[in-house]
Chain A
């Protein structure tokens, strides 16, 4: 009895060790992968490929990101107004909406939407190229798929998410204005002037953009690596697509806490 328990314990320790090793191995593979890919800074022909990916990854995500930004801005204004009015502080609505969006909601929500809309598509596309031997045939033609396929997508994601985040904030602030000023009757002057006096360019807008850049790197990296590293079967593709969304969402939320603690938490 005791011996059996002991051998089970040993087996689970072995399993844990093996799992740990495979995680570290995957991290190593992912690092080599990204290091080899980012060297392919788009130039010449690469620039054309990059622009094409900017369209697929960035422009086509524009609708979902902007519409979400509008609604989130409107909800923020509505919720904020009902709380602030109790304190007679509804003039501070502009400040509340803009700081929430710039510091927190725009980078995070845009990154989550981006992971769902563009990240999963990147994984599935690269995975399908792998499954249909397109990546292998490219290698056999003597073209490095990391440069030709992965690098443009990586750079497109890296550039487009911060731009989408800016769009999200702008539309969100406008949504807050529509609800707060046009509908609920907060004074237009105080909405904008409070915002202007309380939002610092580097501390608020800048830090928000840094967050967004970090998220862009993480989400795109996870997406293209999951696509490149998957098992080329239909089940493998569906699993990798799910992993992309789950891992990048968790990574975004976890990193957001760390970054917020460093930027605004006085760490």
Chain B
């Protein structure tokens, strides 16, 4: 069973505000592995996670998690399915009215009838795993960005989920915090045999932990493969992204009328944004 697909996304179409974000995305996420979904900003990576988590409904296509069609489940069944997943948000999304300990204890308190002493042990164990046992009494306002994300990680794994979704886990982190997070994701995934989906555009960090990569651009999967195979991929869109080249198939300039016309004032009503 370890190598079978845990998540299958089939022919996914989604548009928002009249703009097509996905035009037929297909992908398979194997059980017990770290799969990364990468792509430039604004390509809808976070939207894809929200579609997988059932917070958004696709226009067409379906998402199967462990054989269940996420968007056909009743609200109750969907919430039951979500108990088997954890999600790490970009901002951490800690509850601002609870301290660190209670944030991590929250899923246990609402989903289990465990006695307080046991909840305490589990929470401290998870906080120890992310290195923040000493911070259990702090409020979420007292945490740095990196710490908040680690607390959120502890909260995401406190119910021992089978699947964990990471939304841009490395964004805005200093090098030390980044290193800590990379190591934590890898270690947790191995120790708990988790299926992990990492959405990110931080190439180096993501490549170092992912078993398999999908690259999204223009609403489609443009490439997929192991980190090594993508690194030497020949598609110019892939190599531009993988090697961080400023200009290429994804243009440096936002679409604009010809430069001389703007500058020489041929058409003063036209406004442009460049860069």
Could you tell me which A residues sit within 8 Å of B by CB distance? 45, 128-129, 132-134, 136-144, 148
The residue from A129, A133, A134, A142 contacting B79, defined by CB atoms under 8 A apart: A142
Q: Chain B contacts of A148 at CB under 8 A?
A: 110
In chain B, positions 46-99 with a C-beta closer than 8 Å to chain A are 50, 53, 55, 75, 79-80, 82-83, 85-87, 89-91, 93-96
- Closest Cβ of chain A to B195, distance in Å, is 15
Q: How far is the CB of A190 from chain B (nearest CB, A)?
A: 52
Would you call A134 and B82 a contact (CB within 8 A)? Answer: no
A145 CB, nearest partner CB in chain B, Å: 11
B243 within 8 A of A: no
Q: How many Å from the CB of B55 to the closest CB on chain A?
A: 6
Please judge, given known A-B contacts A129-B96, A142-B80, A142-B82, whether A137 and B87 are in contact too, CB under 8 Å.
yes
Contact A139 B82 (CB under 8 A): yes
Contact assessment for A140 and B96 in the assembled complex, using a CB-CB cutoff below 8 Å? no
Top 8 A-B pairs, shortest CB-CB distance: A137-B93, A133-B93, A142-B83, A142-B82, A140-B87, A142-B79, A133-B89, A141-B107
Q: Are B90 and A133 in contact (CB under 8 A)?
A: yes
CA distance A255 to B155 in the complex (A): 46
Whether B110 contacts A140 by the Cβ 8 Å rule is: no
* B273 CB-CB contact with A under 8 Å: no
User: Of B87, B93, B110, which is within 8 A of A132 by CB?
Assistant: B93
| Contact indicator A139/B96 (Cβ below 8 Å) | no
Closest chain A residue, CB of each to CB of B82: A142
Residues of A within 8 A of B90 (CB): 133
Q: Is the CB of A144 within 8 A of B79?
A: yes
Interface pair A133/B107, CB less than 8 Å apart: no
User: Which residues in B have their C-beta under 8 angstroms from that of A45?
Assistant: 109-110
Q: Using CB atoms, name the residue of chain A closest to B75.
A: A144
User: Taking each of A45, A140, A144, which has the highest tally of chain B beta carbons within 10 Å of its own beta carbon?
Assistant: A140
B204 contacts the other chain (CB 8 A): no
Specify the chain B residue showing the minimal Cβ separation from A143. Answer: B110
Q: Are A140 and B53 in contact (CB under 8 A)?
A: yes
The complex places the Cα of A88 from the Cα of B75 at a distance, in Å, of 68
Which chain A positions have C-beta within 8 A of B87? 137, 140
Residues of B within 8 Å of A134, CB to CB, are 93-96
Query: Residue of B at shortest CB range from A129?
Result: B96
- Distance from A98 Cβ to chain B, minimum over Cβ atoms (Å): 41
**Residues of B near any A CB (own CB < 8 A):** 50, 53, 55, 75, 79-80, 82-83, 85-87, 89-91, 93-96, 106-107, 109-111, 152, 155
Minimum CB–CB distance from B86 to chain A (whole Å) comes to 8
Instruction: Point out the residue from A136, A142, A143, A144 that lies within 8 Å of B93, measured CB to CB.
Output: A136
In this complex, what residue of A is CB-closest to B80? A142
Besides A133-B89, A134-B95, A137-B93, 18 other A-B contacts (C-beta < 8 A): A45-B110, A128-B96, A132-B91, A133-B93, A134-B93, A134-B94, A136-B55, A137-B89, A138-B95, A139-B55, A140-B53, A141-B82, A141-B106, A141-B155, A142-B107, A143-B110, A144-B75, A148-B110
Q: Contacts A137-B87, A141-B107, A142-B111 known; A132 to B80 CB distance under 8 Å?
A: no
Would you mind naming 12 contact pairs between A and B with Cβ atoms under 8 Å apart? A128-B96, A133-B91, A134-B96, A136-B89, A136-B93, A139-B55, A140-B55, A140-B85, A141-B82, A142-B79, A142-B83, A144-B79
Expressed in whole angstroms, the minimum distance between the Cβ of B108 and any Cβ of chain A is 10
| Given A132-B91, A133-B90, also A141-B96 (CB < 8 A) | no
Kindly list chain B residues whose C-beta atoms are within 8 Å of the C-beta of A128: 96
**What residues of A have a CB within 8 angstroms of the CB of B55 in the complex?**
136, 139-140
- The complex places the Cα of A141 from the Cα of B156 at a distance, in Å, of 8
Contact partners of B110 in chain A: CB under 8 A: 45, 141-143, 148
Complex alpha-carbon distance, A218 and B152, angstroms: 36
Distance in angstroms from B143 CB to nearest chain A CB is 13
State the Cβ distance, A237 to closest chain B Cβ, in Å: 14
Bound complex: CA A45 to CA B87 (Å): 24
Q: Which residue of A lies closest to B111 (CB)?
A: A142
Contact of B96 among A132, A136, A138, A144 (CB under 8 A): A132
- B106 CB contacts on chain A under 8 angstroms: 141
Docked Cα-Cα span, A143 to B76, in Å, equals 10
| Minimum distance in angstroms from A133 CB to a CB of chain B | 4
Q: How far is A148 from B111 in the complex, measured between Cα atoms in Å?
A: 13
List the B residue with the shortest CB-CB distance to A144.
B79
Which residues of B lie under 8 Å from residue A129 when comparing CB positions? 96
Name which of B53, B79, B152 has the most chain A CB atoms within 10 A of its CB. B79
A148 and B75 alpha carbons, distance in the complex (Å): 15
How far is A133 from B155 in the complex, measured between Cα atoms in Å?
15
